[in-house]
Amino acid sequence: MSVGPLVITYKLTERSRAIVAEELRGAAQVIYLPDLPPEQRADALRRAGAVLANDTGQELRPGESALLGRARLLQFTAAGIDWVPTRDLPPELPVAGNKGASAEPMAEHVVAMALAAAKRLFIEHDKLKQGEFNQRGPNRMLRGGVCGILGFGAVGVATARLLRPFGMKIHAVNRRGASDEPTDWIGTTEQLDELLRASDVLVISTALTTATEGLIGARELGLMKEDAALINVARGEIVDEAALYAHLTAHPRFFACIDAWWVEPVRHQRFEMSHPFLDLPNVIGSPHNSAGGGVWRDVSLRRAIANCRRALLGETPDNLIGSDERMM
């Protein structure tokens, strides 16, 4: 039986369309759903061998998701798809996130935040603006410390590879408690407390699932070192917002570097905080831009298309999500 087309549900530039053709290498016809007249959309979706989407909740019309039952894969461009309605998709439809597609720029972002916290760059910058030349103020070395990584997938591994040359030991937690990537210690999520106690820098790079939502609360923060730094490049909801704010105000030597917020424009159509984190000197914020942009979008697209090609050729695609990741 001939394979159906790759149906792409959102608009792409000519540059991106060229990348699609290059990565697909003739494995299937490509149909761009926004280019079709309304009466042809249903037929294209029924025939789809694979589907590439940003947000099916916005890009598919009512009833269209039910037409995807024959597709070998629904591939999303984002790494985490907890904010996309996936529970109502055909149960037999394999669904994949683009996990690890932006691992390299995210790892660089983590290192930048870790260094900024350790060297108190923003605190001292603000003091200089006020005329205070705090040359003798203490800062920290990353060398000799422990980087704890919660979620040792592609982003965690890329982070470890950058921080290990700084002289940091790598401790990690994942579901298996094992990895092909070298670590100084690795455990399962049941051993999270050990990771928290040891970490000088804690990097949160795990997926938001029913198990990880609210995983880091007041008890967990209380296990960490007084001067540790927590860096979240995953999802805000993994950390209890109120508990983190209370911990930061009570422990001024503790840093939070927040790239992933609790209410964000892409997922919630607005940005807001329940607590004034950005008024605290021991908080470094960024607008969830750790995944990079510019030419890196090309790399991310290539990785998504490569996974579609695997499915179209009858191979097992990577990064399939489980039921615990279907939050909506």
Order the strands of the 30-32 sheet from edge to edge.
30-32, 6-8, 50-53, 74-76, 95-96
288 is known as an active-site residue: yes
How many Cα atoms are found within 13 Å in the side-chain-facing hemisphere of 23? 21
Residue 194 falls in the annotated catalytic set: no
Q: Do residues 186 and 213 touch, judged by C-beta distance below 8 A?
A: no
Instruction: Tell me which of 108, 213, 264, 302 is the catalytic residue.
Output: 264
Task: Name the burial class of residue 226, with classes exposed (0-12), middle (13-18) and buried (19+) by CB atoms within 10 angstroms of its CB.
Answer: exposed
CA atoms of 288 and 208, how far apart (whole Å): 15
| Max Cα-Cα span within the chain | 74
CB contact burial 16-43 (16+ within 10 A = b; e otherwise): beebbeebbeebbebbbbeeeeeeebee
41, 120, 171, 235: the catalytic one is 235
* Alpha-carbon span 182 to 128, nearest angstrom: 41
171 contact partners, CB below 8 Å, separation of at least 6? 146, 147, 148, 149, 183, 184, 185, 186, 194, 195, 198, 199
Q: Is position 251 annotated as part of the catalytic site?
A: no
Choose among 248, 249, 255: nearest CA to 232.
255
Active-site residue set: 235, 264, 288
